[in-house]
Amino acid sequence: MNLRAPEPIAGSDPANLRIRAQPHGSGVAFALAAHTLWGFLPAFWKLFGGVSPLEVLANRVLWSLLFTLALLAALGRLEELRAALRSPRERGGLAAASVFIALNWGIFIWAVQADRIVETSLGYFLNPLINAALGVALFRERLAPAQLAALALATLGVGAQVVAYGGVPWVALALGVTFSCYGVAKKRTAVPALTSLAFETAVLGPLALGFLAFGAAAGAGALAEGPAATRALLLVSGPLTAAPLIFFAAAARRLPFTVLGLIQYLSPTLSLLLAVFVYGEPFTRVHAFSFACIWGALALFSASAFQSRRAGEHDS
């Protein structure tokens, strides 16, 4: 989720991310749908308070795999998955991506259950800036002075929490870093979003299935022993994971990066509001200062990226 080349968890086909001259109304609707679902997703994971985060993660992986395979089959697109399996380049990138997304999902589910949704929202606000830092470190990309200032301002915001609380906001940083690394792993792949999710969950599927089978054999698995409502919710985790990805991919085909990048901030904003006003998580003056720095950095970074894109369009 960022303005430069959004790599939210969609992993969209670069061919699907062509910039259009004007945003299409349906593209905005798809983007709003995707980010609204992502923004309210913590409320769904909150429903599993009596289930361990690892078990929730394993179910999410397994049911996402089965749902995406069924959907690809229904759409006649299984050949896309076979093509990705035949390509060493695609296999390598998507296998690495599967590790990072598993870490990201696991940390997120744990943080939600541990009443740390505010920190998760900070992580996704930081994500575009972490992407920029990785772009400089890994791909030798150059940043404009305003973008460098944005990174410095974001660092100040994180530093404020370190000084005030005597510890690093590791949940936020871990989510931002794993999500950015997920994007880096998929940067050179050309696999559409739905197929990508099927591949990644297929890599993780045997581990998830083994974990759930072990729990069921020990009589401790929520899927086998839990209430009917919990079992139903676990099954829903697959479609709920895939749906926003499908919406995002549809939006990415219709919208310029600048519009898509701005809408991406909807999801962490909704999560933050959910944390404070629904679940009563504390939002202190230090949080306010930290978020103000991050939001200021995002505004500065976004304005600079927009000006650079406009300049490029005029030059061409």
Residue-wise pLDDT tens digits, 123-136: 888 888 888 888 88
Structure tokens at 23: 């945003």
pLDDT score, position 12 = 39
Q: Once rounded to an integer, what is the mean pLDDT over residues 98-107?
A: 96
Q: Which of 101, 27, 63, 87 is nearest to 222 (CA)?
A: 63
pLDDT of 313 reads 60
Average pLDDT over residues 60-89: 94
DSSP 16: G
Residues in the chain: 316
Predicted local distance difference test score (pLDDT) of residue 160: 87
Which one of 10-19, 78-87, 152-161 scores highest in mean pLDDT?
A: 78-87
Q: Which residue has the tokens 């698995």?
A: 221
Higher-pLDDT residue of 221 and 121 is 121
Q: Is the pLDDT of residue 13 over 60?
A: no
Burial annotation 114-127 (CB, 10 A radius, 16+ → b, else e): eebbbbbbbbbbbb
- Under the banding of pLDDT at 50, 70 and 90, the label for residue 24 is low
Position 103 pLDDT exceeds 80: yes
Q: Over the chain, what is the mean pLDDT?
A: 84
Cα 150 from chain centroid? 21
% of the chain surpassing 90 pLDDT: 48
> Dmax over Cα atoms in the chain, in whole Å?
66
pLDDT score, position 304: 80
